[in-house]
Each structure stands twice: as C-alpha cells, then as structure tokens.
Amino acid sequence: MKLRVSAHRETAIPMGDFNGAEYIGINEVPSPRANNARKVSVVPLVFLIFYEVSGGPFGVEDTVQAAGPLLALLGFLIFPFIWSIPEALITAEMGTMFPENGGYVVWVSSALGPYWGFQQGWMKWLSGVIDNALYPVMFLDYLKSAIPALGGGLPRTIAVLALTVVLTFMNYRGLTIVGWAAVSLGILSILPFVVMGLISIPKLRPERWLVADVRSVDWNLYLNTLFWNLNYWDSISTLAGEVHNPKKTLPKALFYAVILVVLSYFFPLLIGTGAVPLQRDLWTDGYFSDIAKMLGGVWLRVWIQGAAAMSNMGMFVAEMSSDSFQLLGMAERGMLPEFFAKRSRYGTPLFGILFSASGVVLLSWLSFQEIVAAENFLYCFGMILEFIAFVWLRIKCPNAQRPFKIPGGTVGAILLCIPPAILICVVLAFSSIKVMVVSLIAVAIGLVMQPCLKFIEKKRWLKFSVSSDLPDITTHGSLLH
C-alpha cells in the first residue's frame, strides 16, 4: 500500500476533534490478529491512558517534601503545558498517521530508519518495564501500615511475585478486559478523594498553599517526581492497532485523559496541603492515607489504601499492555524474532507479556527513587528520538495525510518541541552519576543488540518476518515521495 500525497493543504483541527479526511495509504491497518477480539473504544481508552500516565495522586507526595506546597501545586499546573500537552498532541498526530501496534517505534523507523527505530523500541520498552516494577512496590507500601509483615523480607517478596502473576494473567486474558477493568479501577481510585475533599472544606486554610522556601528545594526529587507523574502519553500509541477507529478515537481519548490526569493530581494536593498543617518530611509515598485518617478517620484511611492498591493494579496492567503490544508490533515489522508476534487465543501478545513480566520481577528489588530516576533517564532519550522523527516527517512529508494534525505547520511543530526538549536537558542534568552510568550502559546494549539480531536473522538461527498487512514505512518507501 502506498501513501497518496494530498494535493491540498490540510486544515488544522483542535485536540479531541477530527477533520473528516479520508485516511488513505497508511490505513486503518489492523495488526494481524489470531481471533476477532473486540477493539477498544473511547471510554476504556481514556482510562488506559489515565493509568499509563497517572492512576491518581498516589506517588505525587514527594513533590511537597521536595519543594513545599506552592511549588508542588504550581508544578502540576504548569508542567502539563511544558510537557504533557505537547507529548499528547504529538501522540495524537503520529498515532493516527501510523495506527498500528508498535507506535513510536514505527514513527522513528519511518523517519530515521529501522536501526534507530529499534533503539527507540529498546529504550522505551526497558523504561516501561522499569516503570512497571514500581507498582507492586507502591501497592505494598500503601498496605504495609495495615499489614506490617508486607514491609520487607520473605512475605513481601512472595506478595510481589503473587501480585505480578495475577496482574499478568489479566493482561493475558485480553485488552478489552483490561480496558474496562481500568474504567472500574479508575472510578474506585478517584471516588475517595472526592469524599475527602468534601470532608476537608471546613478545615482548609488557603495560606498553607502559599508556603515556599526556594533555598531548601530538592530539585532532583522535585523534577523527577513531576516528570514521572506526567509523562508516558505516547505509550498508548503501541496499542493503536487494537483501537476502534483510531483516527477519531485516539485524539478524543488523549484530550479527555489530559483533563482527567491534571485534575486527579491537583485537587488531592490542594486538599492535603490546605487541610493539614505542613510537615514536609512526612510527605512521602503513602502519606495520603495518613491525611485521610486525620480528616475522616480510620474508615477513610482504609478506603484510600484500597484505592491506592487498585490504582497500582490499574497502572500495572495498562503499562504491561503497552510494553507487550510494543514487542508484538516490533516483531510484525521484522525488528524482533517472529515468535514475539504470536498471539494467545485471547488476541494478546503471549511472549511480549512473558518477557515484560520477567523484567518486572527482576527489577522489583530497586528502591522507589532509583526506579523513577533510571526510567526517566531512558525515557528522555526515547523522547528525543520522537521529537526528531515528528519534526523530520513534517519537513519531508508536509502533505502526507494526517487524520489529526497539530496547527502551525513545520515552524509550529519545531516550537512545540522546544519547551519539552529543554526540560529533558534539565532532567538529565540533575541525574545522579549512578543512574547515568547504569542508563548509558542500557543504551549501549541496545546499540549492539540490533546488529546482533540482524546477524542472527542472516544466519537463520531465528525466523524474522514483516507482516504483509502493514504499509511500507521505510525511508525509501512512498512516505517520502
């Protein structure tokens, strides 16, 4: 299939809308499916994105410890304009231009070639698996006050393994189940904070929101926590082949998810910092459950702890879905051995799930701060490649049909990437030497791995193949003509 170049200039459309253009060439191409599993609609997709990015306010507490209430609140208001909205817009445009599993791997491959597409896939998959290792840890951190045995030792190890197995099985059973499970978990995770907000109204003291001491800010912890809580908008692109009518559904879902995520962070922080006297050293992972007890009693604390547990379950299954379908998409493009494209009888990527789950188990021993810093470092490298691919395709293929197109032309595309690119440099600059060294070793492994896989393919030790159902995205294909 060839991408026809539009003879007319496309009209710019707002986020969450669709210009009605017929998508020709890089079409609504479903990745090869082993069955007729149902595709994901708007509502489940919104909550899958919500859990890819957020899952609720659990994990934002460190921003208050690092910088105080004022900077924490401002961070979750300003940071989305610098990072989240640009990333969501780019995901909407590129995800509808290439609506197939593999997402950002396909974008980078089409612009920069398969070598850099593989590097993108390696860094983003590794970052996602590192991210997923957080959720069993956070799950148990919220429960350990009620069940002290989960604080460490053999009981904690067994709990991590058991939790990983159960949630991995949910992914195996199908993306539709995961999507509606995310909706249910999302509602249950947000509801107790609505109740806590109503209870807190008489106790709110607005002057507490203005407390700030710039001299005592831990910028490394502050920026890493903000960045971790407001990134991963592009992860949903690796499921584009499983989405119903992605050219309309994906932009709408991203639009609604941005609003949901920002509100789910800002208002709980507003409640917690305004209704309770400030003790910055107490603002660590799990502190919202303590605030709930102060405001409403033990029953509200238990509810928040349950919501946190469900939130971490939702984030785990959403992230694993993204990671495993990314591997499937890479296999369909011939970047990984063919067995990664094998689906279970539920339509899910069998080997992608197994590999992603194994990575989670291996990394779950790391501390919260180490995991966040390492995944942010790798994620930054991947985002740099995405920005380059986005701008390059705008320059080389300005008239290629884009079902969703960000207004402003090529200049607008470049300007859109500048603030998040600057932020990436700042985040990388604040990384510790240990995290930097480990992350650069991981990047180096990817640089060597791709030629090794090509050697294995040449020797025919493993079978590689490109799906005939997918369009040509090579630099010599029709996209650049």
pLDDT reported for residue 224: 86
Helices 219-229, 368-396: crossing angle, 10 deg rounding: 60
Model pLDDT for residues 368-399, shown as the tens digit of each residue: 666 777 788 888 999 999 999 999 999 999 88
**Quick one: which of 101, 51, 126 has its CA closest to 239?**
101
Domains, the chain: 43-478 (1.20.1740.10)
Instruction: Please determine, for residue 28, whether its predicted confidence score (pLDDT) is greater than 50.
Output: no
pLDDT reported for residue 3: 34
Model pLDDT for residues 341-358, shown as the tens digit of each residue: 999 888 889 899 998 888
Average pLDDT, the chain: 84
| pLDDT range class, residue 365, cuts 50, 70, 90 | low
pTM for this entry? 0.83
pLDDT reported for residue 294: 94
pLDDT reported for residue 286: 80
| pLDDT range class, residue 269, cuts 50, 70, 90 | very high
pLDDT reported for residue 8: 37
C-alpha 327/C-alpha 35 separation (Å) is 19
